[in-house]
Amino acid sequence: MRKIRKCEFNMDTACVELVLDDGTMIAIDTIAVENEIADNMYQRSELDWLIYNAPLEYAELVLNGEPEKYLKAVTEYKRLD
Protein backbone atom coordinates (compact mmCIF):
# COMPACT_ATOMS: atom_id res chain seq x y z
CA MET A 1 0.00 0.00 0.00
CA ARG A 2 1.13 3.53 -0.68
CA LYS A 3 2.14 5.80 2.20
CA ILE A 4 -0.16 8.51 3.48
CA ARG A 5 1.59 11.87 3.28
CA LYS A 6 -1.18 14.08 4.68
CA CYS A 7 -4.39 13.29 6.55
CA GLU A 8 -6.98 15.58 8.13
CA PHE A 9 -10.68 15.76 8.88
CA ASN A 10 -12.62 18.35 6.88
CA MET A 11 -15.60 19.40 9.01
CA ASP A 12 -17.28 21.17 6.06
CA THR A 13 -17.57 17.95 4.02
CA ALA A 14 -17.55 15.43 6.92
CA CYS A 15 -14.73 13.61 5.14
CA VAL A 16 -11.30 12.44 6.21
CA GLU A 17 -9.10 13.66 3.37
CA LEU A 18 -5.84 11.93 2.48
CA VAL A 19 -2.97 12.73 0.18
CA LEU A 20 -0.82 9.72 -0.70
CA ASP A 21 2.88 9.84 -1.50
CA ASP A 22 2.19 9.61 -5.25
CA GLY A 23 -0.14 12.64 -5.11
CA THR A 24 -3.40 10.68 -5.15
CA MET A 25 -6.15 12.33 -3.11
CA ILE A 26 -8.81 10.27 -1.30
CA ALA A 27 -11.82 11.48 0.69
CA ILE A 28 -13.48 9.04 3.10
CA ASP A 29 -17.14 9.92 3.74
CA THR A 30 -17.35 9.41 7.50
CA ILE A 31 -21.15 9.52 7.61
CA ALA A 32 -21.43 6.72 5.05
CA VAL A 33 -18.87 4.63 6.97
CA GLU A 34 -20.79 5.11 10.23
CA ASN A 35 -24.10 4.21 8.60
CA GLU A 36 -22.61 1.05 7.14
CA ILE A 37 -20.56 -0.18 10.09
CA ALA A 38 -21.80 1.19 13.42
CA ASP A 39 -24.71 -0.71 14.98
CA ASN A 40 -25.20 1.41 18.10
CA MET A 41 -24.35 4.75 19.67
CA TYR A 42 -21.25 3.35 21.39
CA GLN A 43 -19.68 2.31 18.12
CA ARG A 44 -20.59 5.64 16.52
CA SER A 45 -19.05 7.44 19.47
CA GLU A 46 -15.81 5.47 19.11
CA LEU A 47 -15.63 6.24 15.39
CA ASP A 48 -16.33 9.93 16.07
CA TRP A 49 -13.52 10.03 18.62
CA LEU A 50 -11.10 8.59 16.05
CA ILE A 51 -12.25 11.00 13.34
CA TYR A 52 -11.62 14.08 15.51
CA ASN A 53 -8.57 12.91 17.48
CA ALA A 54 -6.78 10.38 15.29
CA PRO A 55 -7.85 10.78 11.63
CA LEU A 56 -4.78 8.93 10.36
CA GLU A 57 -5.60 5.84 12.42
CA TYR A 58 -9.24 6.10 11.31
CA ALA A 59 -8.19 6.26 7.65
CA GLU A 60 -5.88 3.28 8.05
CA LEU A 61 -8.68 1.23 9.64
CA VAL A 62 -11.09 2.04 6.81
CA LEU A 63 -8.54 1.51 4.02
CA ASN A 64 -7.40 -1.81 5.50
CA GLY A 65 -11.00 -2.99 5.88
CA GLU A 66 -10.76 -3.52 9.64
CA PRO A 67 -13.20 -1.10 11.32
CA GLU A 68 -15.64 -3.85 12.39
CA LYS A 69 -12.84 -5.83 14.00
CA TYR A 70 -11.63 -2.70 15.81
CA LEU A 71 -15.12 -1.80 17.06
CA LYS A 72 -15.69 -5.31 18.41
CA ALA A 73 -12.43 -5.05 20.34
CA VAL A 74 -12.98 -1.59 21.89
CA THR A 75 -16.72 -1.29 22.50
CA GLU A 76 -18.82 -3.25 24.91
CA TYR A 77 -22.58 -3.00 24.64
CA LYS A 78 -24.87 -4.65 27.15
CA ARG A 79 -28.61 -4.22 27.21
CA LEU A 80 -30.19 -3.12 30.49
CA ASP A 81 -33.02 -5.68 30.43
With DSSP H G I counted as helix, E B as strand and the rest as coil, what are the percentages for the chain, rounded to 5?
50, 20, 30
Does the pLDDT at position 76 exceed 80?
no
Cα distance between residue 21 and residue 17, in whole Å: 13
If DSSP codes are grouped into helix, strand and coil, which group holds residue 18?
strand
Q: 22 near 65, Cβ under 8 Å?
A: no
The pTM for the full model equals 0.82
What does the pLDDT look like over 2-54, one tens digit per residue? 788 999 999 999 999 999 999 999 999 999 999 999 888 888 999 999 999 99
Quick one: pLDDT at residue 1?
Answer: 57
CA distance 24 to 47: 24
